[in-house]
Structure 1
Amino acid sequence: MEQDTLGIFQKIAPDVMGTIKERYLLLRHISDAEPVGRRTLAGLSGLSERVVRSHVDVLRRSGIVRFTTMGIAMEPEGKKMMPSLLECFLRLNNLDDMQRRIRQALGLKNVYIVPGDSDNDKTAKEELGRRGALLLNDLLGSVETVAISGGSTMAEIARMLPESMAEATILPARGSMGNHVEFQANYIAANIAAKTHSSYRMIHLPEGLSASALHIMFESDRQAKENAAMTARAQVVLFGIGRADRMAKKRGMTGLQREALENLGARGESLGCYCSLEGKILYGTNNIGISLRDIKHHPHVIAVAGGTGKAEAILSVMRTCRTGTLVTDEGAAEKIMKLI
């Protein structure tokens, strides 16, 4: 099956993949036993006659099957599609299996895998953002506070998020880092607030300060103190995951510091915490905001990251996290399966 086919299915019907599977199952039985009646199809598939009737009506209108006096039979176009549909169905089952196995292995609430590898597929990166945006949108309206980290994937989620009247408070999960303002948590929080007709707060404290400097700035800024306290109580936390080596470099660590982290076994970084492949926090940066250490205190936790090159980072962070939902892509998931 071409790579794009499943991606198209995910785009146009992300919430009805079960329907696609049921229709494929019916097509397999029709192909094997044509002509076949609806009652027989219901018995073969385990679906109710009402559901079978609904599905085969759609398939007939699509020119895939036809109704005859003897029962339902395949149209030539339907027969031609079957090899590609079989490959698609096997891949769908494979994604489902990977989602289940990763969820169980990491003790997570949910795992969603989008097709492709965002390391070399722009569409996969967009799908990560789309799925993350859908999960956030489902929660908006029922929660009052949302905290979001920085990064290109979080910026993609903000871009994909539909407009709504959530009227929540959107906060940055951490202080600012890096030179790209569009990827900073404050900027992303403001964008989400604009799209959802919500208010937002900012934390104007850069990452990388010493503990003493951070303490002085924090104590002298009453607004930052209030915003940080609200962030600590956020009902939803949405965050990305980075490779430990790249994030250490972005934070301006010295070569000796980066080497020390590598020697300790740091593989992933998120919310200021550097984690080993076994799921231990090896080092945490000084900053105000949410940390992986207390992530379990937040009711809704959503991590979004993909790409084969980030598989070890994702695994290390989610083994540390052990809560919430992971959204990743096929490239990362396949490597994570090998690692676990």
Structure 2
Amino acid sequence: MRRLLEIQKRLLPDLNEQLRKRYTILQQIGLSRSIGRRTLAASLGWTERVLRAETNFLKEQGLLTMEASGMRLTDEGRRIVEEIEPIVKELFGLSELEEQLRQRYGLRQVTVVVGDCDQSPLAKAELGRAAAAALRKYAVPEGIVAVTGGTTMAQVAEQLVASPQLKGTLFVPARGGLGERVELQANTIASAMAKRTGGQYRMLHVPDHLSEDAYQTLMQEPNIREIVELIRRARIVLHGIGEALVMARRRQVPQETCEALLAEGAHAEAFGYYFNRKGGVVHKMPTVGLRLEDIDAMDTVIGVAGGASKGPAIDAIMRSGHTDVLITDEAAARAILEQQAPE
């Protein structure tokens, strides 16, 4: 198969581009379930004229339908997308990117999806779908899954469905999250994941960052201590990755702390810890929930992040050595591999 694809790339390069274009259309329609042509054209950065010609062809092939509410995949269209995904990965070099990243960081698994989350919300939906598939792969019935907050984790929740692997799963927030937008809080996302999979959830109603005195006081509360102990029994952690200063400002961290993070060389954030380019911890926010020593004891830690702008942050978190599985997109993968290793 690999040799055949190499020959095709050399003899029929235009065919590869056509395949990518039509696969992308079908994939994006499938992710959105129903979408108008104008909206899809804007998401892909194409003109409506170009998209109209391609979607008319795909309709004639019986792969999609056009309704007043938007375009939808037919059963045959969904089957085609599933069957050609491995071929597309090989053809577009995604399999090679996955292996390069896996070896670079010594990871158990890397999944790279098509697109750039910085440019397309539908690419982020595909990232969520891939992360949901990874969660199903590593989950065990009746297990505990800890999740962080953020826009990417919200997309993972949106793509989850009930499955045997997630039967009876208890979803819990990895740490306190009050202070962020409600829909992006870990509590909200844990609840959404439970509802979509038929599982259960528990919430941790404490602020995202605390003073040391407040932290010590909260940890004396029996109800808080009980939930934290439950969180620390999770065997799977699903987490996003953020740029250090972007995350600090989003969480309304004081200006003096932001300046300290900059001076300390903070490059990325995950789990409430701030890491430098080499993956070393340079700052920790006092927060109730998982600690790095808890995360290191987990069976599977799944990091999910995409977009070319996230490349340096992803690199820093992967260098820290706390993640087993990486789900990212093509733009971030190329950005990571193009940058030089820190001295």
Q: TM-score range by the shorter chain?
A: 0.7 to 0.9
Give yes or no for contact 2:266–2:282 (8 Å, CA) kept in 1: yes
Q: What's the secondary structure of 2:129's corresponding residue? A: helix
CA drift of 1:99 comes to 0.8
Q: In structure 2, how many angstroms separate the alpha carbons of the residues matched to 1:300 and 1:89?
A: 27
2:205 match? 204
Matching residue of 2:273: 273
The answer to whether the 8 A contact 2:266-2:277 is kept is yes
Q: 1:209 is paired with a residue of what secondary structure? A: coil
**1:226 Cα deviation (Å)?**
1.1
Cα distance change, pair 318–256 in 1 and its aligned pair in 2 (3 A): same
> 1:224 matched to which residue of 2?
224
What CA deviation, in whole Å up to 9, does each residue of 1:214-237 have, x standing for no partner? Answer: 2112212x1221111111120110
More off after superposition, 249-258 vs 229-238: 249-258
Task: Say if 1:104 and 1:11 are closer, same or farther in 2 by CA, change over 3 A.
Answer: farther
User: Radius of gyration: which is bigger?
Assistant: 1
Whole-Å separation in 1 of the counterparts to 2:322 and 2:219: 30
CA contact (8 A) 2:142 2:168 kept: no
Aligned to 2:189: 188
2:14 aligns with: none
Cα distance in structure 1, aligned partners of 2:160 and 2:89: 31
Distance change in 2, residues 1:325/1:93 (3 Å): same
In the alignment, which residue of structure 2 is the partner of 1:321? 321
- Aligned-residue offset at 1:7: 3.7
Q: Distance in 1 between matches of 2:245 and 2:138?
A: 33
In structure 2, distance between residues paired with 1:219 and 1:95: 49
Report deviation, 1:320.
Answer: 0.8
Alpha-carbon deviation of 1:136? 1.5
Q: Evaluate the alpha carbon distance shift between residue 160 and residue 216 of structure 1 in structure 2; reply closer, same or farther with a 3 A threshold.
A: same
What's the secondary structure of 1:306's corresponding residue?
Answer: coil
The answer as to 2:152 corresponding to 1:117 is no
For residues 202 and 338 of structure 1, the distance between their equivalents in structure 2, rounded to whole angstroms, comes to 40
Q: TM-score, normalised by structure 2?
A: 0.72
CA–CA distance in structure 2, aligned partners of residues 204 and 136 of structure 1: 25
C-alpha distance in 2 between matches for 1:9 and 1:301: 31
User: Following the alignment from structure 2 to structure 1, what is the Cα–Cα distance between the partners of residues 23 and 329?
Assistant: 13
Asked if 2 retains the 8 angstrom alpha-carbon contact of 1:143 and 1:168, the reply is yes
Match for residue 148 of structure 2?
Answer: 149
Distance 1:129 1:138, change over 3 A: same
Rate the CA distance shift 1:326–1:227 in 2: closer, same or farther, 3 A: same
Percent of residue pairs bearing the same amino acid type:
37
One-letter identity of the residue aligned with 1:302: I
AA in 2 matched with 1:232: R
* Mapped partners of 1:300, 1:7: distance in 2: 31
* Change beyond 3 A, Cα 1:89–1:233: closer
Which residue matches 1:24? none
Give the Cα–Cα distance (whole angstroms) in 2 for the partners of residues 136 and 9 of structure 1.
24
Deviation at 1:89, TM superposition (A): 6.2
Aligned equivalent of 2:336: 336
Query: Which residue is 2:252 aligned to?
Result: 252
Deviation at 1:253, TM superposition (A): 2.2
Q: Partners of 1:130 and 1:89 in 2: how far apart? A: 16
- Over 3 Å counting, the alpha-carbon distance change for 1:259 and 1:279 in structure 2 is same
Residues 4 and 186 (structure 1 numbering): CA distance in 2 closer, same or farther, change over 3 Å?
A: farther
Matched, 1:236 2:236: yes
Per the alignment, do residues 194 and 118 of structure 1 end up closer, same or farther by CA in structure 2, a change over 3 Å counting? same
CA contact (8 A) 1:173 1:289 kept: yes
Letter aligned with residue 148 of structure 1: V
Say what the alpha-carbon RMSD is for the aligned residues.
Answer: 2.5
Question: CA–CA distance in 2 between the matches of 1:90 and 1:234?
Answer: 32
- Residues 10, 322 of structure 1: CA spacing in aligned structure 2 closer, same or farther, 3 A cutoff? farther
Aligned to 1:94: 93
Provide the secondary structure at the position in 1 that maps to 2:112.
Answer: strand
Q: Which amino acid aligns with 1:235?
A: R
Amino acid at match of 1:198: G
**2:198 match: secondary structure:** coil
Report if the CA contact (8 A) 1:241-1:305 is conserved.
yes
- CA change 1:211–1:95 in 2 (3 A) is same
Residues 8-29 of structure 1 deviation map (CA, whole Å, 9 limit, x = unaligned)? 686799xxxxxxxxxxxxxxxx
Q: Which AA in structure 2 matches 1:111?
A: V
Q: Which residue of 2 aligns with 1:287?
A: 287
Return the alpha-carbon distance in structure 1 between the equivalents of residues 233 and 296 of structure 2: 11
Structure 1 counterpart of 2:286, one-letter code: N
Show CA shifts across 1:114-147 (max 9, x none): 0110001122101011111111123444451111
CA distance in 2, matches of 1:200, 1:225: 16
Given that 2:276 and 2:282 are in contact with CA atoms closer than 8 Å, whether structure 1 keeps it comes out as yes
C-alpha separation between the residues in 2 aligned to 1:100 and 1:12? Answer: 28
